[in-house]
Every structure is written in C-alpha cells, then in structure tokens.
Amino acid sequence: KAVQQSGKIAPYEITPIEAIPSIAAKLRDTFWTNKTKDVQYRLVQLRKLYWGIVDYTPQLREALMLDLKKSPHDAHVSEIDWTLGDCLNAIKNLEKWVKDDKDIDVALSFSMLKPRIKKEPFGAVLIIGTYNFPVQLNMCPFIGAIAAGCTAVLKPSESSPATAMVLTEIIEKSLDPSAYTTVNGRVPETTALLEEKWEKIFYTGGVNVAKIISKKAAETLTPVCLELGGKNPAFVTKNADIPSLHADSCGARRSTLVSLINMMNVTYEDFFPKGAKVSPDYARVVNVQQFDRLKAMLDHTNGKIVLGGEMDRDDLYIGPTVVLVDSADDRMIQEESFGPIWAILPYDDLDTAINTVRKVDYTPLLDDLWFEIRKRERLVVTPLAAACPLIVSNPNRHTVLNSITSGGATINDGFMHAAVNTLPFGGVGQSGTGSYRGKHSFECFTHRRTVVETPGWMDGLLRVRYMPFRAADLKQ
C-alpha cells in the first residue's frame, strides 16, 4: 500500500472483537427509543452526513488514491458526487417517501377499517461493503438505512483500508453515535457481526461470502439484500456500427471481430497516448491477492491477447487487456475477472451466443447486459462490461432481453442503468437479490406494515366471526 501523504487519514484500526456484541446491543436499544423513526431526526442525520462527506472530500480523494489509485476525477464522478447525489435525493424526497400508502384498493365495507400501509424501519441493520467503489457501495445503502429510520452498523471492506478509515471518521464526527457506527476488520470481525441479531443484512461482494452470510442469516430468518457480481455479457454483431462510435480511423468496414479489436486498440491509444501505466487517470488492482488471481486467469487461458497484457506486480498494474478466446469453456469465460481483462468469444449465430450466456449464467451472473444485434449473424460475447468502450444500436434488442435474465440492462452503452440514481440497482439469481438507489434504498430498509382500525360500532356487523355460528349468517 502506498504511504499516506497528508497524515490526515488514520491508520487502519480493527475494531476489538469483544466490543461487537455491545455495539450491536446499543444499536438495538437505540432503535427502541424510537428516536430514529422521527422524520426530522432522519433529515438532520442525512444533512449532517451530506456535509460530512463534503468536508472530508480531500481525505476521501486521498484515500481512494491510496487504496486504488483512483484519479480525483474518478473519485468525484463515481464515488463522492455519486454518493452526495443519493444523499440529496433522500433529503429532498424523504417526507414524501415516509407517508402512509392510503390509496388502497379495498371493498367498500373494508374501507371503514381505515386501511393503510405504514412505512416502518426494519430496526438495527448491518451493511457489509466491498472495495472497488468503497465510498458509494458503502454509503448509498447506509443513506437508505438512515432514511428508512433504522439504526445501522457499516462494515467497509478491509481491502480498501484508507477509505474505510475516512468513512469511519465521517460517521463518527457527523452522526448520532448511539444510532450509527462502523466496525472495521477482516473475517473474524465480520463473523462476529454475523453472530448478532440484525433486522436486515445488506451485503455487497462475491458469491462465496454471500452464501456464508445467507446461511447465517437463515438461522434467525433475517432478511438479506445481496448485491453480487458475475459475468456481464455484451453482444456485438457483424453489422454493429463500431467505427462510427469512437474511432474514425477504424476505416472501411471489416468483420465485426476485426473492427472490434481494432477499435479497442484505437481507443486505447486515444485514452492513453503514452500508455495506461503512466496515465494519471488509470487505477490499480486493489492488492497482491487480486493481482495474482488476475494473472493466473491470464496464465491459464488458451486465448490470445489482442490488446495489452502488460503487468507489474510491484505497482499492482495490469493494463487494459483483451483476450480472444475460442471456447466457452475457457477460464476467461467461465470466471468473473473483476479486473481490467475482457474476453471476446466469437460466435456465428445469436442463438448459440444466447445459449452460451445461459450456461455460463448458472455459476456467474448477469449483472448488466449490453448488446447490439442488427442481424442474426456473427456475434461476439464479451463478459464483464466494466469500461468497455462501445456497443451500438439494436433493433433486435427484445430478442436478447427476452432470452436472458439479468439484474439490469443497458442498451447501446455500458453500465448506464446504474448511473440513473433513482432507478433500482440490483441483481437477479446468482447476481443477488433485492435492490437499492433512490427511493429503492429507502424501501430496502423499510417494512410495509399493514394497519387497519376496527371502529367499535362495526363489531355487530362482524358478528359472523363469532361462535356459535349461525346458518343464517352464511350467504347461500
């Protein structure tokens, strides 16, 4: 890890494991004081959080640089401003979101029961985050928990320790410590957190840990929201208008595959005229373990590197890399790379491509899905969308949408479905369950509690409920 420059970020400090039961107990107790249910209290907390993030922006930028070598631009666009946007949206709309639903379709006789659906916070909740977007992936669900009126503990990923410490300080300095806190640590601390009773667990991360969490949650029937990962196939056809998208210099039309690889190379040159390694915009792999995992994927593929492939373990650098593979059994297709490595698998018809994606889907997942199909001809399936530069228009998009399931889908672009901060973001099947962002973050931590009130005078009308039953009460 790089050494801190400003001295403004505390060294990573693991929460004492023996403190975890009392932290959980405090959050449960605070919840039952009912203070977090007060809407004005929630708004104050959200405003304080907003200004805490604003005040700590320099530290967040530095931490993101330390943890991931994220550029300040990236830090703002995909992390800080992203999170502030979610916070502002909650502040702006909370009073509307918390209102009871009264517009309920009931029979006239039941309308006298004043039926309504109250928006109740779940209670004390646990949020466990991951490292690749360590600000937004932790804070956006946390904002949802505050908005819903829950008390909450955040467990940021130990793989992004500098950001974890800045988030810890923001929460400590800005929010009511009896209701909101962080726990830092690794597997033992997370395991200790899972030993506690939570009213909801929100987890972002990989499938294997999600299974551990789900099993633990099942013991107490605790609901979970799981935001997982997996493959993100893109479909590109022969007639995709690849050159017009980015690279005029792609020149005359060739087959899609050649144009695609050409265009990726031209785009690489555009983005990084002196190479990605010296670009101030290009981030690094988070740690040596992830570096070694990615390197092993490349070492074991039977594919051919058609772009990049440069690596430097000391610098945790892997350049943008594209591998042309010839079989869906290749490790590059079967495993999520979760790094700057894309695989291209050529196909001859759309049905085969769809079937391949369906087969791959049973272990990995379809979190976002981009595609372009103009004709059912030659296709390229590229798993893992990340920062892939293209994808074009799509008259046959319904075929793919109807043939493959995915958490979300972007047509003609990559990942834009996640950028719209009022749309629900979440997986399906192996890519997760539940969703959040905008109002959906509030709803993720909210129980819809049905309430009716029986006026005393109605009891006579409800006589049919009471024994002894009378034949006359039954409608023939």
Alpha carbon 314 to its chain centroid, in Å, reads: 29
- Single residue of 36, 83, 190, 446 touching ligand NAD by CB under 6 A: 190
Using CB under 6 A as the binding criterion, the count of chain residues that bind ligand NAD stands at 27
* d(C-alpha 145, C-alpha 202), whole Å: 10
Task: Map residues 358-377 to x or -, x wherever contact with ligand NAD holds by CB under 6 A.
Answer: ---------x----------
- Single residue of 235, 282, 317, 338 touching ligand NAD by CB under 6 A: 338
Residue 284 is a binding residue for ligand NAD (CB under 6 A): no
Residue from 144, 146, 141 nearest 127 by CA: 141
Residue from 35, 45, 37, 189 nearest 122 by CA: 37
Mark out the alpha helices in 301-429 (DSSP H runs). 331-334, 350-361, 397-403, 416-419
To ligand NAD, the closest distance from the beta carbon of 384 in angstroms equals 9
Render 424-453 in DSSP notation, one character per residue.
-B---GGGEE--BSTHHHHHHTEEEEEE--
Residue 344: beta bridge partners?
324
Which residue among 227, 335, 372, 443 is the active-site one?
227
- Single residue of 149, 205, 383, 408 touching ligand NAD by CB under 6 A: 205
Whether 250 sits among the annotated catalytic residues: the reply is yes
- Single residue of 123, 141, 229, 438 touching ligand NAD by CB under 6 A: 229
Residue with tokens 């955040």: 154
* d(C-alpha 369, C-alpha 367), whole Å: 7
Residue from 79, 94, 10, 85 nearest 45 by CA: 94
Please identify, using beta-carbon distances, which residue of 354 and 384 lies nearer to ligand NAD.
384
To ligand NAD, the closest distance from the beta carbon of 50 in angstroms equals 22
Q: For 143-161, give the secondary structure using H, E and C.
A: HHHHHHCCEEEEECCCCCH
To ligand NAD, the closest distance from the beta carbon of 416 in angstroms equals 15
To ligand NAD, the closest distance from the beta carbon of 279 in angstroms equals 23
- Single residue of 206, 223, 309, 429 touching ligand NAD by CB under 6 A: 206
Whether 225 sits among the annotated catalytic residues: the reply is no
Please identify, using beta-carbon distances, which residue of 150 and 294 lies nearer to ligand NAD.
294
- Enumerate residues 149-168 that contact ligand NAD by CB under 6 A: 155, 157-159
Task: Map residues 4-23 to x or -, x wherever contact with ligand NAD holds by CB under 6 A.
Answer: --------------------
Please identify, using beta-carbon distances, which residue of 121 and 230 lies nearer to ligand NAD.
230
Residue 202: beta bridge partners?
127, 225
Please identify, using beta-carbon distances, which residue of 44 and 209 lies nearer to ligand NAD.
209
Are 39 and 98 a contacting pair, CB within 8 Å? yes
- Enumerate residues 414-473 that contact ligand NAD by CB under 6 A: 427, 432
Which residue among 250, 335, 336, 372 is the active-site one?
250
* d(C-alpha 370, C-alpha 388), whole Å: 10
To ligand NAD, the closest distance from the beta carbon of 365 in angstroms equals 8
Which residues are CB-contacts of 404 (< 8 A; sequence separation ≥ 6)? 233, 354, 357, 358, 361, 366, 369
To ligand NAD, the closest distance from the beta carbon of 8 in angstroms equals 24
Please identify, using beta-carbon distances, which residue of 262 and 430 lies nearer to ligand NAD.
430
To ligand NAD, the closest distance from the beta carbon of 432 in angstroms equals 6
Residue 335 is a binding residue for ligand NAD (CB under 6 A): no
- Report the residue number whose CB is nearest to ligand NAD: 229
Residue from 226, 224, 171, 228 nearest 199 by CA: 224
- Enumerate residues 170-189 that contact ligand NAD by CB under 6 A: 186-187
From the list 31-39, 92-100, 203-211, 460-468, the region that binds ligand NAD by CB under 6 A is 203-211
Mark out the alpha helices in 272-349 (DSSP H runs). 288-300, 331-334
Residue 227 is a binding residue for ligand NAD (CB under 6 A): yes
Residue from 418, 350, 238 nearest 358 by CA: 350
Residue type for position 143: I
* d(C-alpha 99, C-alpha 117), whole Å: 9
To ligand NAD, the closest distance from the beta carbon of 285 in angstroms equals 12
Residue type for position 295: K
To ligand NAD, the closest distance from the beta carbon of 209 in angstroms equals 4
Residue from 148, 176, 171, 172 nearest 39 by CA: 148
- Single residue of 336, 361, 372, 443 touching ligand NAD by CB under 6 A: 336
Mark out the alpha helices in 153-277 (DSSP H runs). 161-174, 187-195, 207-219, 242-245, 256-271
* d(C-alpha 359, C-alpha 387), whole Å: 24
- Enumerate residues 107-136 that contact ligand NAD by CB under 6 A: 128-132
Residue from 297, 394, 310 nearest 343 by CA: 297
Q: Which residues are catalytic?
A: 227, 250
Contacts with ligand NAD by CB under 6 A lie at 128-132, 137, 155, 157-159, 186-187, 190-191, 204-206, 209, 212, 227-229, 336, 338, 367, 427, 432
